[in-house]
Amino acid sequence: MIIKAITVRHPYAQYIRDNLKKIETRKWTTSYRGKLLIHCAKLPKCKYSGMAIAICDLVDIKPMTKEHEKDAWCGLYDGANSFFLENIQPIEPVPIRGKLSLWNVEVELK
């Protein structure tokens, strides 16, 4: 299966996997909406480093507001956009190489 993916640093990738973090923030935006694979960055090292660990739906992107801070697990910062994630499901970790921005990856999910 080919799917869009995003690399997220630890511990935030795991917070998404555990359904605690429902908003990812970035200084950029995209018109893409749909299935999104959550990839845990290689650094800092953790048990999920370099692995795809969850799948979700990217349903909306809006400029970040103070009200988004709790679900984003971060404070408001200049130029931040809130990526709203729904239907978050942990997956069996799959090693893949991360990239910047959104990217396509071919992966077999179990």
Q: Where are the domains of the chain?
A: 2-106
Amino acid, res. 52: A
Thinking of the domain 2-106, which architecture would CATH place it in? Roll (2.30)
CA 37 – CA 55 distance, rounded (Å): 5
d(CA 53, CA 39): 6
Per-residue pLDDT tens over the stretch 90-107: 999 999 998 899 999 988
Query: Which tokens belong to 103?
Result: 């990217």
Q: What pLDDT score was predicted for residue 1? A: 85
Q: Give exposure, 35-54, as e/b (b: 16+ Cβ within 10 Å).
A: ebbbbbbeeeebebbbbbbb
- Residue 83: predicted pLDDT: 98
Please write the tens of the pLDDT for every residue from 14-62.
Answer: 999 999 999 999 999 999 999 999 999 999 999 999 999 999 999 999 9
pLDDT the model gives residue 110: 65
pTM, full prediction: 0.94
Tens digits of residue pLDDT in 67-87: 999 999 999 999 999 999 999
Name the average pLDDT for the chain.
Answer: 96
Q: Considering all CA atoms of the chain, what is the largest pairwise distance in Å, rounded to the nearest integer?
A: 39
